[in-house]
Chain A
Amino acid sequence: MASRSMNRAAVTALVFWLLSAAAQAAPLPKTIVIGYVQVADDERYDDRQGPGETVISPPRPLPGAEMSVDEVNTVAAVSGRTYQLDHDEAESGDALPAKVEALAAKGTHWFLVDAPDDAMEKLAKAERGKDVMLFNISATGDALRGAACEPELLSVIPSRAMLADALAQFLLARKWPRVLVLRGPLAPDKADAEAFAHAAKRFGLTIVDTRDFIVSNDPRHRDQDNIALLTGDASYDTVYVADNDGTFARSLPYATIDPRPVIGATGLVPTAWTWTWDRYGAPQVSHRFKKRAGRDMTDTDWAAWLAVRALDDALRESHATTTEAADRYLVGPQMNIDGAKGPPLSFRAWDHQLRQPILLATPDAVIADAPMPGFLHQTNVLDTLGYDQPETQCKF
């Protein structure tokens, strides 16, 4: 009896050891294959047919990853490593975990994931505890860094909260505290407006009113599709517009009843990257990208580019021999990634979000970069953007 239970304990221990060894101690090969997955039916990349002209959708960020892989491979003699990209596409968000697992079964550990919030959340949940590390390069949802966070998910693209906080800091620095909020009908529009409301409260701005708009030619919806009506009968310094579709926002500047700047989805836009950013070596990065991709570098291109660099930095500096050791270094405090945005960048331990400056840009200029001067933090000023450790809802 006693020996049977001991046997069982031994078997349990052995099984546990095998499982944990399988999950953690994959040795690093000389050539690292990075998985790159995207979702075919990702609506963010659909061209929008509004009542007027088609709004052209943003490009997919794959060239950012390809450029970065080529760049880190130029120093293979020093790093002792080369990288390859294994690119695949899932039909839908639901099919994404199976795609990732198929690549993982071939030995791929690190993935760049281009997927919207809901698909990213499902994937991260499905991969909990598995032998993968996912770089989120395009989903801005705060839940991914909050209640729905997972230790296997690293967010390179800034969160909605970070983008909204950057705008709020800018408005406060300019002494433009009164904001009229116009909110679109889509779920991400609501999420943007919510993040902005949170930022306004955090930094002491006043939201004078929040008004819902729809894009329509229907005369019965005049009060919701007419810019004059939407921006009249209120007193404000700026108009914040939440419009992920973009067909409404593009006509808003210069059409408001009061002559006030438009911010948010158009006008002054908070972003991780824009081609006009010209400090800290940024023009070289943007020039290289444009030369090979034939278009300007976007925020998600930058996030894809940075994810590969972050991985290479971690492998070069840590001298890690296992994926587990490399991952520990990657999310650790020693990281100082050069993102061509000024300060060294690293991942926040409490939610695995990349801390970084946010650019506040018009279509052809960067007006400011947040954190704005004067916004202070007890450890790192970059942590004035987004959910800080005491406020986080993320529990790993």
Chain B
Amino acid sequence: MKQGLIVLALLALAMPAFAGTNRVFVSNERGNGLTVLDATDYSTVGFVRTGARPRGMLFSPDHKLLYVACGGVNRIDIVDVAGMKVIGHIPHIDDPETFDLDKKGERLFISNEDAGELSIFDLASKHLLKSIKVGLEPEGVLLNPDDTKVYVASEGSNLVSVIDIASSHRLDIGTDTRPRRFALTPDNRELWVSTELAGRVNIIDVATNKVTGRIDFLPPGMRKEDVSPVALVIDKSGTTAFVTLGRANHVGVVDVKSRQVTDYILVGQRPWGITFDKTQKRLFVANGASDDVSIIDAASHKVLKSVPVGHYPYGVAIDE
């Protein structure tokens, strides 16, 4: 009995906070489901059938649930991570694509491209709490660390809106052409936003809400008009950012402090979603036009492996 307890205690010490399933979920935009890979050997271990056109994905804070925006059926599917199946929906959301969750996992913040609105849903009741007008074709949504503000990128208006959640007050910031996705530096001082048709990242100073920097990308042998940055991640130390460059088929590596592009990593065709694993040693990149996922060693920038998935992979969510 006592020995058993010690073993358990040791196990608890050795294990990370969540003993995850060690699975990688890849949403296939035209495959109507999620390809599930083993996070260690990258073999396919399952397929989760979802509603049509699954795109954005996020885990609940305890990683038991995975929320999947299914644009083709106007709902968010709720996937049981361990059981690898859909167990519920949040219905009546027009063509959902990207969203964010608050830190407690109580509310879901989603952009509505057609209506030009940000909508806030209560996850327990699945009811709409409120909608706030933003610009045309809102896309990227990101909450700030203390859940007081939400950033929304309106790609049709070249606009980033900063919304105070309590008051719904909105402040607009003009950006370069077609702003898409966000990343905040870990110190919450800089908001990075990809501007797809400008081929850039714009850097917004969080304190003043002004664009204070621009990073241009041009991988070797590519043309400016093919550089279409979309998703981006910044590591926990705030040192390095990785930006998928869409039609330019590369991931751009940026030194956050100096804002200099330090490397380009050749991946598959039209890289879209990008996700760190938990230790931030690897990056998983969904290559939309080549139907595969590239796994990158974050330190050496080498592609470790390319793994075939379903049709038009959009994003990657990792449960470790």
Indicate if the CB atoms of B159 and A337 lie closer than 8 Å.
no
Q: Within the complex, which residue of B114, B174, B198, B226 is in contact with A79, where a contact is CB–CB below 8 Å?
A: B174
Q: Within the complex, which residue of B137, B172, B223 is in contact with A75, where a contact is CB–CB below 8 Å?
A: B172
Q: Does B106 contact A (CB under 8 A)?
A: no
Name the B residues within 8 Å of A21 (CB-CB). none
Q: Give, as a whole number of angstroms, the nearest-CB distance from A43 to chain B.
A: 35
State whether A75 and B177 are in contact (beta carbons under 8 Å apart), knowing that A287-B114, A344-B198, A380-B223 are contacts in the complex: no
Q: Does B39 contact A (CB under 8 A)?
A: no
Q: Does B250 contact A (CB under 8 A)?
A: no
Which B residues, 56 to 115, have Cβ-Cβ distances below 8 Å to chain A?
113-114
Name the B residues within 8 Å of A336 (CB-CB). 177, 197-199, 225
Q: Give, as a whole number of angstroms, the nearest-CB distance from A344 to chain B.
A: 4
Query: 1/0 contact trace for A333-351 toward B, CB 8 Å?
Result: 0001110000110000000
Name the B residues within 8 Å of A287 (CB-CB). 114
Q: Give, as a whole number of angstroms, the nearest-CB distance from B209 to chain A.
A: 11
Name the B residues within 8 Å of A281 (CB-CB). 113, 137, 155-156, 178
A338 CA / B197 CA spacing, docked (Å): 7
Name the A residues within 8 Å of B52 (CB-CB). none
A71 CA / B157 CA spacing, docked (Å): 8
Q: Does B265 contact A (CB under 8 A)?
A: no
Indicate if the CB atoms of B197 and A344 lie closer than 8 Å.
yes
Q: Does A327 contact B (CB under 8 A)?
A: no
Q: Within the complex, which residue of A71, A74, A317, A338 is in contact with B178, where a contact is CB–CB below 8 Å?
A: A338
Q: Does B136 contact A (CB under 8 A)?
A: yes
Specify which of A283, A285, A316, A336 lies most central, judged by the most chain B CB atoms within 10 Å of its CB.
Answer: A336
Indicate if the CB atoms of B174 and A343 lie closer than 8 Å.
no
For chain B, the count of residues having a C-beta within 8 Å of the partner chain is 22
Specify which of A287, A317, A337, A338 lies most central, judged by the most chain B CB atoms within 10 Å of its CB.
Answer: A338
Name the A residues within 8 Å of B178 (CB-CB). 281, 338
Q: Does A18 contact B (CB under 8 A)?
A: no
Which B residues, 120 to 179, have Cβ-Cβ distances below 8 Å to chain A?
135-137, 155-159, 172-174, 176-178
A78 CA / B171 CA spacing, docked (Å): 9
A71 CA / B156 CA spacing, docked (Å): 9
Name the A residues within 8 Å of B135 (CB-CB). 74-75
Query: 1/0 contact trace for B195-210 toward A, CB 8 Å?
Result: 0011100000000000
Which A residues, 32 to 81, have Cβ-Cβ distances below 8 Å to chain B?
71, 74-75, 77-79
Indicate if the CB atoms of A338 and B174 lie closer than 8 Å.
no
Indicate if the CB atoms of B197 and A284 lie closer than 8 Å.
no
A11 CA / B61 CA spacing, docked (Å): 79
Q: Give, as a whole number of angstroms, the nearest-CB distance from A293 to chain B.
A: 15
Q: What residue in chain A is nearest B226 (Cβ atoms)? A: A343
Q: Give, as a whole number of angstroms, the nearest-CB distance from A380 to chain B.
A: 6
Name the A residues within 8 Å of B199 (CB-CB). 336, 344
Indicate if the CB atoms of B177 and A74 lie closer than 8 Å.
no
Name the B residues within 8 Å of A189 (CB-CB). none
Q: What residue in chain A is nearest B223 (Cβ atoms)? A: A380
Q: Does A313 contact B (CB under 8 A)?
A: yes
Name the A residues within 8 Å of B177 (CB-CB). 313, 336-338, 344
Indicate if the CB atoms of A316 and B158 lie closer than 8 Å.
yes
Indicate if the CB atoms of A344 and B225 lie closer than 8 Å.
yes
Name the A residues within 8 Å of B156 (CB-CB). 71, 281, 284-285, 338
Name the B residues within 8 Å of A316 (CB-CB). 158, 174
Q: Give, as a whole number of angstroms, the nearest-CB distance from A304 to chain B.
A: 16
Contacts from B to A (Cβ < 8 Å): 113-114, 135-137, 155-159, 172-174, 176-178, 197-199, 223, 225-226
Contacts from A to B (Cβ < 8 Å): 71, 74-75, 77-79, 281, 283-285, 287-288, 313, 316-317, 336-338, 343-344, 379-380, 382
Q: Which 7 A-B pairs have the closest CB atoms?
A: A78-B174, A344-B197, A284-B137, A343-B225, A336-B177, A75-B157, A78-B172
Given contacts A284-B136, A338-B177, 11 further A-B contacts (CB under 8 A): A75-B174, A79-B174, A287-B114, A288-B114, A337-B197, A338-B155, A343-B225, A344-B199, A344-B225, A379-B223, A380-B223
